[in-house]
Structure 1
């Protein structure tokens, strides 16, 4: 199984990218490709600019990388209750090329934050909009208090209940 994982964040120390990477790695025998959304250069979306330049190259590259996947593990950062602007912009460009970018491939959606909310607002928004983009969400996991449950330096979860929950979530990717 080829899994594409990413954190919907531009932070170089993204806790969401760390969570997605760790979680995807829980799938035994899987080939995991971790994306960094900073690698996909796209201008700020507008219909006027789209008419002028056509499809943004960064969005085409993002779609090509998604096409390689058999499954997805995506962890959503939350900025003021919503997607980070950079991710939303990349996503907007990509969906203008192919609205059904996830192709009904199985996905696990995650979200985390250092505080008590666990980025639940953005996770709920992502899950609610999933059908519009042909996302086949098999499980969602919100992780509040990230630093209490995860060793960011080692790149692994330290909380047994969280580890069990993440393993159960990714087990659904094969089903």
Structure 2
């Protein structure tokens, strides 16, 4: 069965980026979207010593396998001090050690949001470069600024212009994964 994998680059139980991914998933009728709530996926901080002593966790291997068998991937990255969170960077470090081609040729819709007016654009730019380095095909990006003013859990994206921008990025992503 083909599916899209969606997750946020945050391990917070109240992640606004996960809320954006979850909302985006509701707009997709086919294929099925599998959501990963990373708040339930703790990974130790990567180090070569830890890897040598403990190897790779089953949850990391399963996550990598889901990435590779998915038809496409939707990610929304959070921002800490203008960059993706340490959690997201750590996840990428682990995945790239397990398999350097963990995301090669995968179609990715990359998003970001924050409570501020820049909408985590710095994190979005860094994540785009990082994922492209491992072969991801970023089909489009979307940044939602001022999350708490521009998003409602029941209504979705409130600003009409931003809603259209989001819909266009999603439409382009879906067109590229169904080719």
Does TM, normalized by the shorter one, top 0.5?
A: yes
Aligned length: 174
Matched with 1:97 is: 98
Aligned-partner SS, 1:172: helix
Please give the alpha-carbon distance, in whole angstroms, between the structure 2 residues aligned to 1:81 and 1:3. 28
Matched with 2:161 is: 161
TM-score w.r.t. length of structure 2: 0.89
Matched with 1:130 is: 131
Q: Which runs of 4+ in 1 moved over 4 A?
A: none
Matched with 1:23 is: 24
Structure 1 residue 141: deviation in Å? 0.9
| Deviates most, 97-106 or 24-33 | 24-33
Describe the superposition over 1:103-157 as per-residue Cα deviations: whole angstroms up to 9, x where unpaired: 31211110111111110111000112222212100101111111111103x2622
Structure 2: tracts of 5 or more residues without a match: none
Matched with 2:12 is: 11
| Deviates most, 157-166 or 136-145 | 157-166
TM-score w.r.t. length of structure 1: 0.91
Flag the 1:96–1:155 CA change in 2: closer, same or farther, 3 A. Answer: farther
Structure 1: tracts of 5 or more residues without a match: none
Please show how residues 76-155 of structure 1 align to structure 2 within 5 Å: 76-152=77-153, 154=154
Matched with 2:46 is: 45
Please give the alpha-carbon distance, in whole angstroms, between the structure 1 residues aligned to 2:92 and 2:130. 12
Aligned-partner SS, 1:75: strand
Query: Superposition RMSD on alpha carbons, in Å?
Result: 1.6
Aligned-partner SS, 1:34: strand
